[in-house]
Structure 1
Amino acid sequence: MFTDESACNTYNYGDSVYWDARYIHEASAGSFDWYQRYHALRPFLRKYVPTSSRILMVGCGNAVMSEDMVKDGYEDIMNVDISCVAIEMMRRKYEHVPQLKYLQMDVRDMGFFLDDSFDSVIDKGTLDSLMCGTDAPISASQMLGEVSRLLKPGGTYMLITYGDPTVRMPHINRPVYNWKIDLYIIPRPGFQKPPGSTSSPKSHLSPVRTTDKGMLPADYVLEDPDSHYIYVCTKMGESSDPSDPRLIFDQ
């Protein structure tokens, strides 16, 4: 239930064996960033994640996302991944960058960290990977439960995914998490409108209006049929403040 298996292939993306083998095989290819690079995500991160935040990057892989964030002023990023191969590679690469730390860890069990340990959790494709693995709904629930536990009240879980609201909202929009969710939609890197298109451009920096159940309105038309979705989930609590400076873009 609530899986999107049509977007998956025959690989088990939730398995460390798959990822270890992949990182060994592709070691000479260098880094790889899923979906979007930092420059495209910067406006959203700057809006919701202050540079002084303690950040958890789940499923970091060998991406340069965290490196780019440090270059832009972010001070404390803990990176975790299920692959010991990827983590060892990244530890060696960034051993002289004190703002970046790396731990091998399964996001379904992050008991190493105490409750309320992080101001922000960033997920660029990790939930998607679990949704392509075995026992996908259980794995997703385990991961999201851990994310919720680790977030401080007022903290944000930023999910960057190919999953539209019909397949992601049932997992993240649950009362147990008590998250306020804002949705943004951005086109794939390099997307260009078809010649002759007369549709007016959409503002990717404004939240998309959703229905009471968190779905897109029936008349909403995607600018790019293969858009990426950014769900900004703010953990509500006593310290949540609607006047939080994160509600102002820093461009």
Structure 2
Amino acid sequence: MERVRNNEEKGEEDVAMSAQQRGGGCNYGDALYWDARYLEEGGTAFDWYQRYAALRPFVRKFVPTSSCVLMVGCGSALMSEDMVKDGYVEIMNIDVSSIVIEMMRRKYVSVRQLKYMQMDVRDMSFFSDESFDCVIDKGTLDSLMCGPDAPLSAAQMIQEVNRLLKPDGIFILITYGDPSVRFHHMNQEGCCWKIILYIIPRPGFQVRPGSSSRKSFTEPVPLTEKGQLPAGFIPEDPDSHYIYICKKLPHGFIQPLVQL
């Protein structure tokens, strides 16, 4: 998994290698792994994949600042803080690691708009149905896909996200996975989504001078009737991030449904 290091003093970015490039071998769904990792990092802020500045056009377009937002797998990221600075008034942050949650609670004790709870995204039964207007995931689903029983973990997460969203609520999924490896996870029993896809390059990627893609990052990517990228479509950055804007549709469908 790629991450962007936030150095609050120097403002520098350090993009680490993906888990696959490092050889994997880590159970990213295990709280003990994350506890040890956050203890080692000592509370240093990290934003996985993208900073809020890059995601702001999508968040502001689909999520009103008055929304009740759930940030899953928050880690030590600055994104929630940046959203509060941008006017968002209520963000619940959860993470499987009790270590990072306690760190973040102490850090933001005086920021009333931010709350933190230790919780597994696969079981968020603490929250009642239809509690949130928006759920944001920046890398958590990808983490589960690196662990054991990945399909089951993904299904549990998506079903919980669907349960917690209000009707017409928005799920923003930021992932390495293109539609060929993500849409079937969204297509869970009882889940009905209308999905818009955006693709943006990873931080630091140099777009070729004069490239038309520079202007298209904030434009939705057309998908085929089967929910796949058009034939021959290749992102300029092979390690691009896929942003799925998933609107929860009304109940009443017998079969799972994904609309484009």
TM-score computed with the length of structure 1 as normaliser: 0.88
The unaligned stretches of length 5 or more in structure 1 are 239-251
Letter in 2 for 1:48: F
Q: Which residue of 1 aligns with 2:39?
A: 24
For the 8 Å contact 1:108–1:139, the answer to whether it is kept is yes
For the 8 Å contact 1:61–1:86, the answer to whether it is kept is yes
Q: Paired residues, what number?
A: 231
Instruction: Quote the RMSD (CA, aligned, Å).
Output: 1.6
Following superposition, the deviation at residue 163 of structure 1 comes to 1.0
For the 8 Å contact 1:107–1:143, the answer to whether it is kept is yes
Q: Which residue of 1 aligns with 2:227?
A: 214
**In 1, Cα distance between equivalents of 2:100 and 2:189:** 35
User: After superposition, what is the alpha-carbon deviation per residue over 1:6-35, rounded to whole angstroms, capped at 9, x for unaligned?
Assistant: 67711000000000000000116x100000
**In 2, Cα distance between equivalents of 1:175 and 1:24:** 38
**In 2, Cα distance between equivalents of 1:136 and 1:100:** 30
Q: Which residue of 1 aligns with 2:254?
A: none
1:57 aligns with 2:79: no
**In 1, Cα distance between equivalents of 2:189 and 2:94:** 27
Q: Which residue of 1 aligns with 2:53?
A: 39
The 10-residue stretch of structure 1 (93-102 or 167-176) with the greater mean CA deviation from structure 2: 167-176
TM-score computed with the length of structure 2 as normaliser: 0.85
Report the identity percentage.
Answer: 66
Following superposition, the deviation at residue 103 of structure 1 comes to 0.3
Within a 5 Å distance, the mapping from 1:34-113 to structure 2 comes to 34-113=48-127
Q: Which residue of 1 aligns with 2:171?
A: 157
The 10-residue stretch of structure 1 (105-114 or 202-211) with the greater mean CA deviation from structure 2: 202-211
Following superposition, the deviation at residue 206 of structure 1 comes to 1.1
Within a 5 Å distance, the mapping from 1:177-196 to structure 2 comes to 177-193=191-207
**In 1, Cα distance between equivalents of 2:185 and 2:176:** 14
User: After superposition, what is the alpha-carbon deviation per residue over 1:189-215, rounded to whole angstroms, capped at 9, x for unaligned?
Assistant: 111135xx7752251111100011211
For the 8 Å contact 1:158–1:232, the answer to whether it is kept is yes
**In 2, Cα distance between equivalents of 1:198 and 1:49:** 32
User: After superposition, what is the alpha-carbon deviation per residue over 1:195-241, rounded to whole angstroms, capped at 9, x for unaligned?
Assistant: xx775225111110001121101121212111000001100128xxx
Q: Which residue of 2 aligns with 1:12?
A: 27
**In 2, Cα distance between equivalents of 1:173 and 1:36:** 26
**In 1, Cα distance between equivalents of 2:145 and 2:35:** 19
**In 1, Cα distance between equivalents of 2:151 and 2:26:** 17
**In 1, Cα distance between equivalents of 2:141 and 2:210:** 35
Following superposition, the deviation at residue 175 of structure 1 comes to 6.0
**In 1, Cα distance between equivalents of 2:137 and 2:250:** 22
Q: Label 1:174 to 1:206 Cα distance change in 2 as closer, same or farther (>3 A).
A: farther
Q: Which residue of 2 aligns with 1:176?
A: 190
Following superposition, the deviation at residue 176 of structure 1 comes to 2.7
Following superposition, the deviation at residue 173 of structure 1 comes to 3.6
The unaligned stretches of length 5 or more in structure 2 are 1-18, 252-260
Give the secondary structure class of the aligned counterpart of 2:47: coil
Greater relative contact order (Cα < 8 A, sep 6+): 1
Q: Label 1:222 to 1:86 Cα distance change in 2 as closer, same or farther (>3 A).
A: same
For the 8 Å contact 1:125–1:161, the answer to whether it is kept is yes
For the 8 Å contact 1:62–1:90, the answer to whether it is kept is yes
Q: Which residue of 2 aligns with 1:120?
A: 134
For the 8 Å contact 1:173–1:181, the answer to whether it is kept is no
Following superposition, the deviation at residue 167 of structure 1 comes to 1.0
User: Which of 130, 140, 146 pairs up with 2:144?
Assistant: 130
